[in-house]
């Protein structure tokens, strides 16, 4: 083991650092009058769309002394500030350079947003106006015309509120003269709520925290009876697909895609409780329903199709079927793919990951989803596309989205470009006991990486709060509900390196019940509880190896590599953080070539089913990326060995 490198890699907080002002090419050329104007939700598209990205007013306000609640409450009686501090460019968080603010929201502050809503013109006699937020970190109260309309907790999932009854209308019954206000609170890592790699004391493998609105905001007009949800399940037989549609009330529903069309009459619907689809507040269109909503049931339609000689999806041929669904006056466009992800025995009896029931090696790369100018928010859609295409150019066929839920557009680009996704849940819990859950298991995994995550160790794993445990389980289920239709997602990863881990075996059962169609990585790194679809290990400091499989699970190295090379002018700080350091790109290239070809690739024949290299890009002082943080330099030459990956999945 490289003990010296392991000791050097222990992360330390550097909260007083002033980071270099790095801009990506897209952030540098950002058109502030046209910020992220693409339709934000490619799997649930309507023709009418009013984008609210752009300049809003903002204000930082101290929380009143009587505010004690851990969560925001839409009925709290504090006043909306009359005087604002200035303008912020939404959807960039105030901590980011692209927001124009560059100020941190502290846990004892409120961040207020305000903007005038554009005039809206009715298309339907009984129009409903839906206000959509892609994500707001971490707790949000929403007001229209100073009236509280709803609240949301959790910084990573979308939510929608029907604001129709709070709007004021002109004589022509069109909404006019309305304004929107949002109040945000963010505890970051000062509480147990999910926050991923954000920290108030950044340094090493933990990064600058961000807050507030960080994904697109938009309004849609829908008829009174509209499509709430579409749930698509390709069959494991690779020739059938089921499509479930829900509407507000019974109506005629048509589902069509090339060569296929079916119609269900209003009488064919079933009225079911929302829990049939999962969480009682979830749908494709309104997640979640406003707190206190009496809307507890909807109309449900089930469609089954058989596709002869289906065109199967793969990274090499990412074919998508266009889908159109009509219900009364409402219509949405979507897509799906025919594919299956399973763990099965290969002809030699070795359990491996299978794509479309054929062994498929996952050449993966870890993706933190951070940007130097936008933090959690990519500066443009083209930036998201660039990362995916560049990883494909480097011969990767899988990206592990690391303890972050990305914008819906990123998943769409993975679907259409052919990039398998390994989706992490967002980690939470109170302050981590790093020596117990990180350092000792890294150094001595067979001794310190096998501790039980049950009740006797809740506090050790920073999960002493029963409310926090319950909240994480609900967020896990909601994440699966939200991303269920994404064709490229192949695995749900529940816990990473013990951060906030608890009852992993039970969580695995719950995840599998929520989505029985995908494999589960129960615990990436260590603290494996013996269930799930994979034995999933991290190995940065030892010779790579394959463990004997005795539980009919595939073996994956879910993190390795981390080879670091600092490049002057393209790094956030002069300090170097990584797992093995190289002074030149030439030295890095040779080490990378040897790691992939001499160390990793020979393990495939021995049972290695996938490997995830750390990582897509540098992030702040962590300079172990395949690209620099500003995405201006790719450190690795993909042509150093043209046969590096080719042939693995032939």
Residue 28 lies in a domain: no
Residue 476 domain boundaries: 341-640
pLDDT at 428 over 70: yes
Whether residues 320 and 244 share a domain: the answer is: yes
| pLDDT higher at 319 or 286 | 319
pLDDT given at position 639: 77
Instruction: Report the range of poorest mean pLDDT among 37-41, 96-100, 311-315, 639-643.
Output: 639-643
Q: What is the pLDDT of residue 459?
A: 94
pTM over 0.85: yes
pLDDT at 434: 85
% of residues, the chain, pLDDT over 70:
90
Mean pLDDT of the region 122-139: 93
- Per-residue pLDDT of 400-410, as tens digits, reads 999 999 999 99
| Whether residue 349 sits in one domain with residue 467 | yes
Lowest-confidence region among 66-80, 333-347, 439-453? 66-80
Query: Where is the domain boundary, 336, 368, 396?
Result: 336
Q: Token pair of 362, please? A: 């996952």
Q: What is the mean pLDDT of the chain?
A: 90
Alpha carbons 36 and 379: distance in angstroms, whole number: 8
CATH number of domain containing 435: 3.20.20.80
Cβ contacts of 49 within 8 Å, gap of 6 or more? 39, 218, 219, 220
Give the model's pLDDT for residue 174: 79
Looking at the structure, tell me whether residues 324 and 350 fall in a common domain: no
* DSSP conformational letter for 261: E
pLDDT value at 274 more than 80: no
Q: What is the pLDDT at residue 9?
A: 61
- For the segment 20-45, the average pLDDT, to the nearest whole number, is 96
pLDDT in tens, 47-79: 989 999 999 999 999 998 766 555 555 444 467
Residue 320 belongs to a domain with what CATH number?
2.60.40
Q: Is residue 288 assigned to a domain?
A: yes
Which pLDDT belongs to residue 120? 84
404 with 525, same domain: the answer is yes
Residue 382 covered by a domain: yes
User: For residue 288, what pLDDT is reported?
Assistant: 46
Cβ neighbours for 241, distance < 8 A, ≥ 6 positions apart:
232, 233, 234, 235, 304, 305, 307, 336, 338
Helix (H, G, I), strand (E, B) or coil at 475: helix
For residues 158 and 243, membership in a common domain is answered with no
Residues 448 and 568 in one domain: yes
User: Is residue 484 within 8 Å of residue 478, measured between CB atoms?
Assistant: no
Q: Rg for the chain (alpha carbons), in Å?
A: 24
13: in domain: no
Q: What's the Cα-to-Cα distance from 595 to each of 202, 417, 454, 578, 583, rounded to whole Å?
A: 30, 27, 37, 16, 17
Residue 568 lies in a domain: yes
pLDDT tens sequence across 496-537: 999 999 999 999 999 999 999 999 999 999 999 999 999 999
Is residue 27 situated within a structural domain?
no
Q: Residues 140-177: pLDDT tens digits? A: 999 999 999 999 999 999 999 999 999 998 877 778 89
Question: Which pLDDT does position 68 carry in this prediction?
Answer: 55
Return d(Cα 105, Cα 638) in angstroms, integer.
Answer: 41
Q: What is the mean pLDDT of residues 97-117?
A: 97
| Rounded-to-integer distance, Cα 131 and Cα 50, Å | 10
* Residue with tokens 């079916």, as numbered in its chain: 262
Backbone angles phi, psi at 410, to 5 degrees: -60, -45
C-alpha 287/C-alpha 131 separation (Å) is: 11
Quick one: 68 and 202 in the same domain?
yes
Does 91 sit behind a cis peptide bond, omega within 30 degrees of 0 on the bond before it? yes
Q: 518 and 390, same structural domain?
A: yes
pLDDT, average across residues 581-594? 95
Residues 301, 379 share a domain:
no
Q: Please count the structural domains in the chain.
A: 3
212 lies in the same domain as 301 = no
Same domain, 365 and 304: no
The residue among 130, 134, 94, 132 whose CA lies nearest residue 113 is: 94
42 within domain boundaries: yes
pLDDT of residue 472: 96
Label residue 277 by pLDDT band (50, 70, 90): low
- Taking residues 101-118, what's their average pLDDT? 96
270 has pLDDT over 70:
yes
218 and 161 Cβ atoms separated by less than 8 Å: no
pLDDT, residue 69, reads 58
Q: Is residue 52 part of a domain?
A: yes
Identify the pLDDT of residue 345.
95
Strands 580-581 and 563-564: parallel
Q: Rounded to an integer, what distance in angstroms lies between the CA atom of residue 82 and that of residue 148?
A: 16
Last residue of a domain, one of 160, 195, 222: 222
On the question of pLDDT at 190 being above 60, the answer is yes
pLDDT tens for 1-16 read: 565 665 566 666 777 7
Name the pLDDT band for 445 (thresholds 50, 70, 90): confident
Check residues 273 and 210 and name the one with the higher pLDDT: 210
Residue 424: pLDDT band by 50, 70, 90 thresholds? very high
What is the reported pLDDT for 575?
A: 85
Whether 411 has a pLDDT exceeding 90, the answer reads: yes
Lowest mean pLDDT, pick from 156-165, 261-270, 416-425: 261-270
455-510 confidence digits (pLDDT tens): 999 999 999 999 999 999 999 999 999 999 999 999 999 999 999 999 999 999 99
Q: Which residue has the higher pLDDT, 73 or 37?
A: 37
Beta strands in 375-447 (DSSP E): 398-401, 420-424
Q: How far, in Å, CA of 650 to CA of 644, rounded?
A: 13
Please identify, among 222, 242, 268, the residue that sits at the C-terminal boundary of a domain: 222
Q: Are the C-beta atoms of residues 333 and 45 closer than 8 Å to each other?
A: yes
Q: Indicate if the pLDDT at residue 608 is higher than 60.
A: yes
Residue 558 CA to residue 545 CA, distance in Å, equals 12
> Are 248 and 392 contained in the same domain?
no
The pLDDT tens digits for 615-649 are 999 999 999 999 999 999 999 988 765 454 444 57
């Amino acid at each position: 083991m490289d003990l010296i490198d392991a000791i050097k890699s222990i992360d330390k907080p550097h909260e007083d650092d002033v980071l270099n002002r790095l801009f990506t090419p897209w952030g540098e050329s950002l058109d502030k009058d046209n910020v992220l104007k693409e339709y934000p939700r490619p799997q649930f598209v309507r023709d009418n769309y009013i984008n609210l990205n752009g300049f809003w007013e903002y204000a930082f306000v101290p929380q009143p002394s009587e505010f004690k609640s851990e969560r925001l409450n839409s009925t709290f009686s504090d006043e909306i500030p009359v005087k604002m501090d200035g303008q912020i460019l939404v959807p960039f968080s105030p901590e980011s350079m692209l927001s124009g603010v560059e100020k941190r929201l502290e846990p004892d502050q409120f961040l207020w947003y305000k903007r005038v809503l554009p005039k809206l013109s009715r298309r339907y006699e009984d129009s409903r106006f839906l206000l959509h937020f892609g994500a707001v970190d971490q707790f949000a109260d929403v007001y229209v015309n100073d009236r509280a309309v709803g609240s949301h907790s959790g910084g990573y999932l979308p939510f929608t509120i029907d604001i129709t009854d709070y709007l004021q209308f002109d004589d022509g019954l069109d909404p006019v003269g309305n304004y929107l206000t949002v109040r945000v609170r963010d505890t970051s890592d000062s509480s147990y709520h999910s926050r991923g790699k954000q920290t108030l004391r950044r340094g090493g493998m933990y990064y600058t925290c961000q807050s507030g609105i960080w994904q697109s905001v938009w309004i849609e007009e829908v008829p009174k009876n509209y499509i709430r949800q579409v749930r698509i399940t390709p069959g494991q037989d690779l020739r059938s697909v089921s499509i479930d549609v829900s509407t507000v009330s019974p109506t005629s529903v048509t589902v069509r895609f090339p060569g296929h069309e079916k119609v269900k009459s209003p009488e064919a619907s079933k009225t079911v409780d929302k829990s049939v689809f999962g969480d009682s507040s979830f749908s494709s269109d309104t997640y979640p329903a406003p707190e206190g909503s009496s809307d507890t049931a909807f109309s449900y339609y089930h469609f089954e199709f058989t596709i002869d000689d289906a065109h199967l999806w793969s990274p090499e041929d990412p074919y998508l079927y266009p889908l159109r669904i009509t219900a009364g006056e409402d219509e949405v466009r979507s897509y799906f793919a025919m594919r299956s992800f399973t763990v099965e025995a290969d002809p030699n009896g070795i359990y491996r990951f299978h794509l479309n029931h054929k062994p498929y090696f996952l050449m993966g790369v870890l993706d933190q989803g951070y940007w130097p100018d936008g933090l959690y928010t990519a500066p443009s859609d083209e930036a998201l596309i660039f990362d995916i295409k560049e990883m494909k150019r480097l011969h990767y066929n899988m990206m592990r989205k690391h303890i972050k839920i990305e914008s819906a557009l990123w998943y769409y680009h993975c679907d259409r470009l052919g990039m398998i996704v390994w989706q992490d849940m967002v980690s939470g819990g109170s302050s981590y006991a790093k020596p117990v859950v990180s350092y000792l298991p890294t150094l001595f995994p067979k001794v310190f990486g096998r501790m039980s995550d049950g009740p006797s160790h809740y506090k050790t794993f920073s999960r002493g709060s029963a409310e926090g445990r319950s909240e994480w389980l609900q967020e896990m289920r909601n994440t699966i509900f939200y991303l269920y239709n994404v064709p490229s997602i192949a695995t749900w990863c529940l816990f990473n390196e013990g951060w906030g881990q608890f009852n992993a075996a039970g969580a695995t059962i719950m995840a599998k019940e929520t989505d029985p169609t995908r494999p589960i990585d129960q615990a990436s790194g260590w603290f494996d509880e013996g269930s799930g679809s994979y034995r999933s290990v991290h190995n940065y400091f030892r010779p790579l190896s394959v463990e004997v499989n005795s539980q009919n699970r595939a073996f994956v190295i879910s993190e390795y590599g981390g080879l670091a090379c600092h490049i002057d002018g393209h790094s956030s700080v002069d300090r170097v953080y990584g797992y093995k350091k190289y002074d030149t790109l030439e030295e890095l290239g040779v080490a990378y070539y040897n790691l992939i070809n001499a160390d990793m690739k020979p393990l495939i024949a021995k049972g290695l089913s996938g490997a995830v290299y750390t990582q897509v890009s540098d992030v702040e002082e962590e300079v172990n990326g395949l690209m620099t943080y500003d995405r201006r330099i790719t450190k690795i030459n993909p042509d150093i060995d043209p046969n590096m990956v080719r042939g693995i999945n032939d």
